[in-house]
Amino acid sequence: MAGLQRARVRRQATFRWVVVAVVGTFFALPLLGMLEFTTRAPGGGRTAAVWRTVADLGGLRTTYPELWAGLKASGALVVLTVLIMLVLLVPTMTWVRLRVPGLRRTIEFICLLPLTIPAIVLVVGLAPVYAWVTYLLGGSSAWLCFAYVVLVLPYCYRALDAGLSAIDVRTLGEAARSLGAGWGTVMVRVILPNVRTAVLSASFLAVALVLGEFTIASLLHRDNLQVGINQLGQRDAQVAVAVSFAALALAFVLLLVLSFAGGRRTRTLTPLATPPTQEPA
Amino acid sequence: MPLTSRVRGGALLGVAPFLAFTTIFLAVPTLVVVVGAFVDTGGRPTLANVAGLRQGYILDALLSTLELSLTTAVIGAVVGALLAYAVVTAAPDGMLRRSVSAVCGVLAQFGGVTLAFAFLATVGSQGFVTLYLFDHTGLAVPGDLLYGLRGLGLVYVYFQIPLMVIVFLPALDGVRVQWREATESLGGSTWQYWRHVAGPLLMPASLGSTLLLFANAFAAYATAAALVSQGSPILPLVVRATFTSEVVLGQANLGKAIALAMVVVVAVVMTGYAWLQRRTSRWVG
Amino acid sequence: MTPQRQGVAVRLEGLSRHYGAVRALDGLDLELAPGEMVALLGPSGCGKTTALRLLAGLEDADAGRDVVDGRDLTDVPVSKRDMGMVFQAYSLFPHMTARQNVAFGLRLRGRSSAEQRSRAGEMLELVGLSSQADRYAHQMSGGQQQRVALARALAIEPQVLLLDEPLSALDAKVRVQLRDEIRRIQLDVGATTLLVTHDQEEALAVADRVGVMRGGRLEQIAAPGEIYTSPATAFVAEFVGLTNRMDGVAADGVAQVMRARIPLLPGSVASGPVSVLVRPESVEVHTQRDGEAEVVAASFLGSLGRVRVRTADGAVLLAQVPTGGAGVLQVGDRVSLALRPVPALAVSRD
């Protein structure tokens, strides 16, 4: 037996592993670099001292106040951004499908628009808007959530759109209405439970994007995790690298959970299938 | 008639919050940039800002940005396409496929301060690869590698490759195994298959993905900002300079003109991308 | 029109193939006479598709060889085997028109564009799609796409034509129409043809011989009529057409079932208590006020009807009845039963 097809399968396997190994090495080196750097001891050799410092949250708070401020701000931003995003998008998108389908293209256009506006450009335009926000609401970093909602709009829109397209919103809504449900009930009891996965995907994406955001916060002089890490980098590089590694690991876990959980039931829901245009960090 | 218009009005009310929000935080900022590019500090219409784009340092930065975006887009597209192809030859629900897509999903979003730190710790002057290479082979990684365009390119490739994998995988998935088998049964060699079938089929998708990568690099700010604190070799950093030093009279609106130029470039590229995507989905949807 | 080229003889010898622990093909022997059309029929996983793919060269055999026109092709790559193949679906190149698809094989062979064009035109005419020559796959119906795929496979004047469930993705009506057309064209062109299908009606309707497969082996290969009237095994009898399993007692080549004596087919269990496999059309049903059986279901199928009756001992039998004339059977009717002495297969009771 010549095994022509088997030979092809073997060739493909070899090619596959060579490519994966080479690219994998390129992907792994900078991550290893971070780990290696954070375990360097002052006189040479290895130490876990940096990681002990990072694990001690209470100590972190007093020793590195800039980092603590950033953490607190990012925590608030994550919650606010996800909330506003969901409250803004889910009812609007459902409503448009139910009552004003003619507006669907318009809403989609608006939601995808931020893809063509680089973050640095958005900052330029947002500066005067934030002068008003500061005047009306105060200068808290938490108000960055408005800008972040705009930033995550395209990704969350696509995730939610995939979820809503998978169910027949109109029929579900009409069925519930015919049974006597009000619009609020339709939204909360009928639509939401059916797009759980999509809501989860959209939220995870928003969390990952907010945790990595640097451009807007730094240029508008607000605090967030990345700004804190950046400031810390000038004072204690090792701790800064350790914290950013930890943040990255968290984002990694979040998106891994998302892609594995989402992969089984709703492949098309994976929002990652639709790409980011801007470097979100 | 009055009844239906009341219903229409009520229906439109449902989208009012969304429209209000996007007006304030999306439309207004966009208008600030667009209008700002064409008025002077006194608010009078002028073309001076746009004319100011012809200054040497801005043109240099534009060229560098285009070069950086094009180079990293092409390298990212080629390597990413290879990786994506390697992945589709594996079992569709296998570990390799799932792991690579998951890892790429994360790394494509990776950027900014963290990515800058990661590369500093690797090929910076004290990075472990730098030290290892010097100790074992005597090769010296240039100390300022990461502060220049070449280093920036190296770092950008790090998020371009995974982005390519993510956007190109669906197109590769759309290539049916029957097409290869049909080509072979009709007497075609592997080369002929790529030349006449897979190549032409994947051409729009690869071009489109490269455009997307181009826009991605062109718009990137955070990574460059974290690495380059001196000078403004690329457009996003020029915008930063005009934004943070508003003391120079008229600079603010010059910055808006540059920002507008960036939007125009990205919008043109993205339109091309969308057009090619539509073509792709007709063939390998 | 088509240069008439007589088909060639094809012989599969002891072909085996396993995937892990699963034996997909277990020493298959099969011969196709020149110009003959053989259908491989069986449930999914029976190895029929594997057999076709091994002959096409799309997969490697673990053991055995395939010989076409006296030439051992086992180590010959797909592209050099000169076989036309029609796939289940979606095999047209989406970036080419119907004409370009059909001409593609000739293009690969470096034929002149004039020849490509005229030959593609001929082939499209053969499958009745001349008017659709400039359409793309996404502009055609599933049936049209399969016609183009057939034209493409025939354009290279293949030694052997391989049809891998070519109709299974189509609507019932299109399926019947296209299967007759495939047979017409195959006879026209004279190519030796292997058809793989899970649709028994399709296999019986078009093939010269039908091979029923199970577990990687051929259970029986014979002309369609013979497969139906003289099944070699219980599996063949039950897979092809409908059957009733009726208890009986065999002796001397005859089985006593109810009050009837049924002649037994070769391969039957010769004596003792047996199950006899009786076709519905061998069961006669007559309305009778005090009949021994009761109609429990009746369905109307056009010129024929099918009824399900329960006998006194509780067994349920399927019978085929003409629908014309008087006495349409209804659920609840009492009937009497009789068996026609049509030869049947007897197997041991289980």
Q: What percent of chain B has pLDDT over 90?
A: 55
What is the radius of gyration, based on Cα positions, of chain C? 24
Distance from CA of A116 to the nearest CA of C (A): 30
Structural domain containing residue B204: 20-284
The confidence score (pLDDT) of residue B155 equals: 95
Residues C160 and C195: beta-carbon distance below 8 Å? no
The confidence score (pLDDT) of residue A74 equals: 93
CB contact under 8 A, A4 and C62: no
Q: Is residue C1 part of a domain?
A: no
Token pair belonging to C278: 């009786």
CB contact under 8 A, B215 and A241: no
| pLDDT digit string, tens, across residues C9-34 | 999 999 999 888 888 999 999 999 99
Burial C276-295 (b: 16+ CB within 10 A, else e): bbbbbbbbebeeeeebebeb
- Name the band, by pLDDT with cuts 50, 70 and 90, for residue A56: confident
Q: Which of B74-88, C2-16, C41-55, C87-101 has the lowest mean pLDDT?
A: C2-16
Tell me the residues of chain A between 141 and 160 that have a Cβ less than 8 Å away from chain B: 146-147, 149-150, 153
Residue to mutate among C58, C78, C96, C159, with most B CBs inside 10 A, is C78
Alpha-carbon span C322 to C304, nearest angstrom: 5
Residue of chain C nearest B201, judged by CA positions: C95
- Single residue among C187, C214, C234 that ends a domain in this structure: C234
Alpha-carbon span B119 to A34, nearest angstrom: 8
Rounded to an integer, the average pLDDT of A241-256 is: 83
pLDDT higher than threshold 50 for residue B2: no
- Greatest mean pLDDT range, B1-5, B9-13, B179-183: B179-183
CB contact under 8 A, B176 and C79: no
Residue to mutate among B25, B130, B216, B268, with most A CBs inside 10 A, is B25
Are both C144 and C261 inside the same structural domain? Answer: no
Average pLDDT, rounded, for chain A:
86
Q: Is residue C4 part of a domain?
A: no
Q: Is residue B15 part of a domain?
A: no
Residues A164 and A195: beta-carbon distance below 8 Å? yes
Average pLDDT, rounded, for chain C:
90
Distances (CA, A) of A281 to A75, B111, B114: 16, 5, 9
- Measured over all CA atoms, what is the biggest interatomic distance in chain C, rounded to whole angstroms? 79
The confidence score (pLDDT) of residue C3 equals: 43
- Name the band, by pLDDT with cuts 50, 70 and 90, for residue A275: very low
The confidence score (pLDDT) of residue B75 equals: 98
Q: What percent of chain C has pLDDT over 90?
A: 63
Q: Which residues have a Cβ under 8 Å from the Cβ of A171 and sit 6 or more positions away?
A: none
CATH of the domain at C19: 3.40.50.300
Are both C330 and C292 inside the same structural domain? Answer: yes
Are both C227 and C251 inside the same structural domain? Answer: no
Distance from CA of A11 to the nearest CA of C (A): 15
Alpha helices in A2-64 (DSSP H): 4-38, 49-55, 57-63
Residue to mutate among B178, B180, B185, with most C CBs inside 10 A, is B185
Are both C326 and C262 inside the same structural domain? Answer: yes
Rounded to an integer, the average pLDDT of C229-246 is: 92
Partners of C284 in the β-ladder: C338
Alpha-carbon span A213 to A73, nearest angstrom: 12
Q: Is residue C114 part of a domain?
A: yes
Structural domain count of chain C: 2
Q: Residue A272: its chain B contacts at CB < 8 A?
A: 101, 105, 108, 166
Alpha-carbon span A67 to A55, nearest angstrom: 13
Are both C54 and C158 inside the same structural domain? Answer: yes
CB contact under 8 A, A4 and C58: no
| pLDDT digit string, tens, across residues C176-222 | 999 999 999 999 889 999 999 999 999 999 999 999 999 999 999 99
CATH of the domain at C268: 2.40.50.140
Q: Is residue C5 part of a domain?
A: no
Residue of chain A nearest C59, judged by CA positions: A5
Residue of chain B nearest A240, judged by CA positions: B117
- Three-state DSSP at B247 gives coil
Q: Which of A72-81, B271-280, C136-145, C195-204 has the lowest mean pLDDT?
A: B271-280
The confidence score (pLDDT) of residue B203 equals: 92
Token pair belonging to B179: 């097409």
Instruction: Tell how strand C209-214 and strand C217-222 pair up.
Output: antiparallel
Rounded to an integer, the average pLDDT of C260-278 is: 89
Q: Is residue C94 part of a domain?
A: yes
Average pLDDT, rounded, for chain B:
88
Alpha-carbon span A176 to A50, nearest angstrom: 57
Alpha-carbon span A161 to A90, nearest angstrom: 9
Q: Which residues have a Cβ under 8 Å from the Cβ of B75 and sit 6 or more positions away?
A: B153, B157, B160
The confidence score (pLDDT) of residue A259 equals: 65
The confidence score (pLDDT) of residue B280 equals: 79
Alpha-carbon span C324 to C302, nearest angstrom: 9
CB contact under 8 A, C95 and B178: no
Distance from CA of C207 to the nearest CA of B (A): 23
Alpha-carbon span C119 to A143, nearest angstrom: 71
pLDDT higher than threshold 50 for residue B159: yes
Look up tokens 């309305």; give the residue. Answer: C287
Are both C75 and C181 inside the same structural domain? Answer: yes
CB contact under 8 A, B184 and C78: yes
Q: Is residue B9 part of a domain?
A: no
| pLDDT digit string, tens, across residues A145-177 | 999 999 999 999 999 998 998 888 888 888 988
Look up tokens 């079992």; give the residue. Answer: B91
- Single residue among C234, C264, C281 that ends a domain in this structure: C234
- Name the band, by pLDDT with cuts 50, 70 and 90, for residue B27: very high
The confidence score (pLDDT) of residue C292 equals: 86
| pLDDT digit string, tens, across residues B91-133 | 777 788 888 888 888 888 777 888 999 999 999 888 899 999 9
pLDDT higher than threshold 70 for residue C327: no
pLDDT higher than threshold 70 for residue A267: no
Are both C194 and C276 inside the same structural domain? Answer: no
The confidence score (pLDDT) of residue A276 equals: 38
Are both C225 and C250 inside the same structural domain? Answer: no
Rounded to an integer, the average pLDDT of B228-250 is: 80
- Name the band, by pLDDT with cuts 50, 70 and 90, for residue B7: low
Other C-beta atoms lying within 10 Å of the C-beta of residue C31? 14
Are both C159 and C107 inside the same structural domain? Answer: yes
The confidence score (pLDDT) of residue B90 equals: 85
Q: Residue C81: its chain B contacts at CB < 8 A?
A: 185
Structural domain count of chain B: 1
Nearest to A29 among B126, B129, B267 (CB): B129
CATH of the domain at B103: 1.10.3720.10
Nearest to A34 among B85, B121, B260 (CB): B121
Distance from CA of B160 to the nearest CA of C (A): 29
Q: Helices then strands (H, E): number in chain A?
A: 14, 0
The confidence score (pLDDT) of residue A152 equals: 94
pLDDT higher than threshold 60 for residue A262: no
Structural domain containing residue C133: 10-234
Are both C171 and C119 inside the same structural domain? Answer: yes
Q: Residue C58: its chain A contacts at CB < 8 A?
A: 5
pLDDT higher than threshold 90 for residue B153: yes
The confidence score (pLDDT) of residue A271 equals: 34
pLDDT higher than threshold 70 for residue A137: yes
What is the radius of gyration, based on Cα positions, of chain B? 24
Distance from CA of C82 to the nearest CA of B (A): 7
Count of A–C CB contacts within 8 Å?
A: 20
Residue of chain A nearest B83, judged by CA positions: A19
Distance from CA of A246 to the nearest CA of B (A): 10
